Structures are given as C-alpha cells and as structure tokens.
Chains A and B, each alone.
Chain A
Amino acid sequence: MTQSFRMKPPMGEDNGWWWQQAAEGNLAIQRCTACSTLRHPPRPMCGECQSLEWDHVVASGRGTLDSFTILHHPQFPGFDYPLIIILVQLEEGTRITSQLINCSEDTVEFGMPVEMVMHEDPDGFRLPMFQPVRGANA
C-alpha cells in the first residue's frame, strides 16, 4: 500500500461509521431516529431531544457554497496549492467542510452550486470532495 500524506481521522465510536460510509461511496448525514433532526458533524446524542438513537441518510451530494478560503501558505506536503477549502450548504439542510476540485481559484464564488465527488487517495482512503455543477449558472 502506498504511504499517503493525508492525516487520517482517528476512527472512534462517534465518527468511524461516517468514514466507513465514505469508503462505500456515500456522503452520509446522521439522523436522530426519535425526532428526525439531521446533524453534522456526527455526535452521540441529539442536541434537540437528547436521544441516543440515530441512523443516517445518504445525501444527494448537491449543495451551494456558503463560504470558502483559498489556502496558499504554509504548504504541507502532498496538497496542491492554492488549495480551495469550502463550506457547503447541502440541499438536505446541514453544512459540511470540504475541498473544491476541478475549479480554478478565479472562478470560485459565494453561492455557486456544487456536487460531491468521492476522492480516493493512492492508498485507497476515500473522502468526499466537491466540484462545480457542470452547466450551472452558465
């Protein structure tokens, strides 16, 4: 297996399942089975109704850019700079922090529609990234 530059998330009880879903190609959103509130990032208890019971839904992967930053420095090995980091408002209503790919830094803008692409590192680790929706606001 190829050694990867990427800092891997520790896989605990509260978050490991989400990365397992990503490994299977899914962008998951945790859902409280008692009150149906969606939450991200995952937590063991529902802050709305205090239920410990949850399942998840698979997100459509579509959303819009709520905010972004373009990272130039410091440059960590393995990442491509400028690195566009985004905050996506998913159409299901939760937000997720991720990376925007297949987009130049000059064309990234607030509110742009994006869609999820499951990125796979050479060592097989998968994590959701996003790209501009093709043909959108053209």
Chain B
Amino acid sequence: MSHFLKNKAAIAGIGLTEFSKKSGVSELSLAAQATLAACQDAGLHPSAIDGFVSYTLDSTDEIELARAVGAGDLKLFTKVNYGGGAAVGTILHAVMAVATGVADNVICYRAMNGRSGQRMGQGISGQIVSSDLVHWSWYMPYGMLTPGSWIAMIANKYMQHYGVTAEDLGRVAISQRNYAQSNPRSFFHGKPLTMEDYLASKMIADPLRLYDFCQETDGGCAILVTSAERARDLQQKPAIIRGVVQASTRGQEQMTSYYRDELDSLPEMEMAARLVYEQSGLGPNDINAACLYDAFTSEVIMQLESFGFCGRGEGKDMVREGALDIDGRLPNNTHGGLLSEAYIHGMNSIAEGARLVRGTSTSQPEGVEHVLVSSGVGVPTGALILGRD
C-alpha cells in the first residue's frame, strides 16, 4: 500500500540570502528576503503563502515574517524543536498540511545571524528550572559547553571501534571543500583544502580539528512546499517529496545520548532511514546523491552506515574509495555543505537537494533521480527523499 504522504507534495521554490559573517541586517530581514526569493523562484506571489514553519531556535516568529512579506491569511504556523534536528522536520510539517488540505503553500525557513549575532555553543544560564536546562546541566558544570565537545565523545568511540583515522575525517572535509570551489555562495570558494592543511589545523575537541567543524554564518534560507499538482504549474521543475520523516529513539538526548547500549552508531538516524525508505518505497540503491547533515565530518561517515549505503564500520572504506566525490557512488553535499558552503542549520542542504533534482547544482552529477537529505545528527532528527517528477 502506498504511503499517504508519498508524492503528495513538492518543493516548488528555494530562496537564499547572501551568506556572510556579518549581514548588517536583522534576522527578520534575512527571513523575509529568503522567503521572497523562494516565492520568486517558484513564480508565486507572497500573498499566496498561507503557512510558515521554522525552528524553535529561530528568532523570527511566523506572523512577523507574514507581515514583512505581505503573506495572506495563515492556516499553519509552527516551529520544530532540537536545533538542526528540525531541518527536514519543517518539511514534514509542511507536507502534512499540504497533503491534508490544511494549507496550500507553506514556507519553511531558517534565518540567523549565526556569526555576528547569537553564536552556537556559547553556553546557557538562567534562573528558570526547565527539563531542558536540567539536561544541559549534567554537562556544562564540567566545561562541556559546545556542540564540538558533545559530539567528540561519540566520534572518538566510533573511530576507536572501527579504526577510523584522522585522514578519513580529512577526506570528508576535502571532498566537500572541493565542491565549494565551484559554488560562489560558499564561504570557502577559492580556498581549497589539502590533507596537509587539514592535519595541521588546530585540535579543538580531540579527535575533532578545526576543519571537522561547520561554518558559523549569517544568512537565511526558505523552502516553498506546495502540492505536487500545483508545483507542476509553477515555473521550476518540482522536486517531488517521496518521503519525509522525523525520528527520535528510546534513550534519546539532545547531543549527549551517552547512556544507550551502543555509543558507536546513530540509532535515531537508523530509524529515520527505515521510515523514509518505507514511506518512499525506495532503498539505498535508489539514492544517487545526498546531503547528509555535516555539522561535523565524523557524522557524515556514520550516516553512510545508518542509511545502509554500507555495513557497520564500512563508512571509512566508502570515503577512502572516493564515494562522496562527484564521480563516486554517492556525491554528497555538492554545495560544499555546512562545512564549506554555510551553516544555515541544514536548510541550505534542503535547497541543494532540490537543485540536485532540478539538475542545477554547481556540481551536478549525472543522472540524479533521487536525493536523500538528513537533519541534525545526535539529536532528534529526520530524513527526506526528493525525486524527479
């Protein structure tokens, strides 16, 4: 039986602002610019937008954005939790609304002054005792205040267990940096990376070096989701949503799931894989390219295993074979990713997924039929499969 959400909706428009280290404008302005760009990309007036979905971490509320862009009456407004884990979750909420007739044209957005404004990993403090604050308080008194420190604990265990080397992480960083060379939006455009540079880069949270970390970026990105039917009448080739899911597993914590049986796999990503393959009726062999969430290089290697592109512990072998490169088995993060293009919390990777389906990536592989996009790693997450119409 076909899944209810399969093929019901499509990405009809993508919109980006300029990416920089200092935007000089408000986050609301970035969100509005990205939204307008997504509408123009689709050929739809902003007054046709009747739904907005964003991240709980986003400072721009839905109605502020609606007034700014002159949207119509809103039938859907919601935000998804857990940082970058929200990324494709925003698409799921939009698809559910579109497929059920709750809303017609939904904008998913993320806009952040991620470098010049509130930076990630600056720690938390406050007087209110929420369950979330109590969670972080098991780590922050010990000086674990940054995403790198939380992820390194899992990365180290994984690397030790499977013999993953610093060079393997470097290969991921270099592959994505190579893609950045043909993408003018990319922060690292014109700045290639050698293995020597990689290995010489500053150790931050052992085993993670500077170039294992994503960017900090000022910028916005918006994705316009509408019905597959309507998308066919708009001006871009639709990226049909074959499957989209959220996933959080037993024992899940935000970033620090240290108390589950296994420390060297990503159970929530394996769950996302199972669900998204089930919904789409597709499997790893049907996926031609990917945008695997890459706040850190180690996460990319682990996800190759989670999504069944190889067996447990074989992610490093795929990387060594060049699988992630343009002529490899699974060209990955062809925009440069969060590591080399920009860190818009994964929203920019959904935009790249749509480009890959349209055939308009700045590093477009041959014959892309289906693209896999994932949300944040180490947090409640999700997965999305886009397909050519």
Contacts and interface: CB of A to CB of B under 8 A. Distances in A.
A7 B143 CA distance: 8
Contacts of B155: 69
B134 A7 contact: no
5 contacts: A69-B153, A73-B203, A76-B143, A85-B153, A97-B138
A69 B205 contact: yes
Interface string A20-58: 000000000000000000001100000100000000000
B145 A87 contact: no
Which 4 A-B pairs rank lowest in CB-CB distance, beginning with the nearest?
A9-B137, A69-B152, A12-B129, A70-B206
Interface in B310-329: none
Contacts, number: 110
A103 to B, nearest CB: 14
Nearest to A98: B142
Given A41-B138, A82-B206, 13 more contacts: A7-B145, A10-B129, A66-B157, A67-B153, A67-B160, A69-B206, A73-B202, A85-B149, A87-B153, A87-B263, A97-B139, A97-B153, A98-B142
B162 interface: no
Nearest to A110: B160
B259 A95 contact: yes
A67 B154 contact: yes
A115 B161 CA distance: 24
Contacts of A59: none
Interface of A: 6-15, 40-41, 47, 66-74, 76, 79, 82-83, 85, 87, 94-95, 97-99, 105, 110, 127
A7 B126 CA distance: 10
B4 interface: no
Interface in B137-171: 137-146, 149, 152-157, 160
Interface residues of B, number: 41
Contacts of B203: 70, 72-73
Contacts of A99: 142-143
Nearest to B133: A10
B141 A73 contact: no
B312 to A, nearest CB: 17
Given A70-B205, A73-B204, A110-B160, A7 B153 contact: no
Nearest to A128: B142
Contacts of A79: 143
A76 B154 CA distance: 22
A32 B141 CA distance: 26
Contacts of A105: 206
Main secondary structure of the interface of A (DSSP, over half): loop
A10 B143 contact: no
Instruction: Give the one of A40, A69, A76, A94 with max B CB within 10 A.
Output: A69
A9 B126 CA distance: 10
A41 B142 contact: no
A47 B250 CA distance: 9
Contacts of A110: 157, 160
A130 to B, nearest CB: 11
Instruction: Give the one of B125, B146, B206 with max A CB within 10 A.
Output: B206
A10 B130 CA distance: 9
B129 A7 contact: no
Contacts of A94: 259
Contacts of A68: 153, 156
Contacts of B43: none
Instruction: Give the one of A12, A14, A41, A67 with max B CB within 10 A.
Output: A67
B135 interface: yes
Contacts of A127: 141-142
Instruction: Give the one of A6, A71, A83, A110 with max B CB within 10 A.
Output: A71
Interface in B101-145: 123-129, 131, 133-135, 137-145
A72 B206 contact: yes
B181 to A, nearest CB: 27
A40 B207 CA distance: 26
A47 B256 CA distance: 18
Instruction: Give the one of B133, B134, B259 with max A CB within 10 A.
Output: B134
Interface string B9-38: 000000000000000000000000000000
A9 B124 CA distance: 10
Interface string B261-298: 00100000000000000000000000000000000000
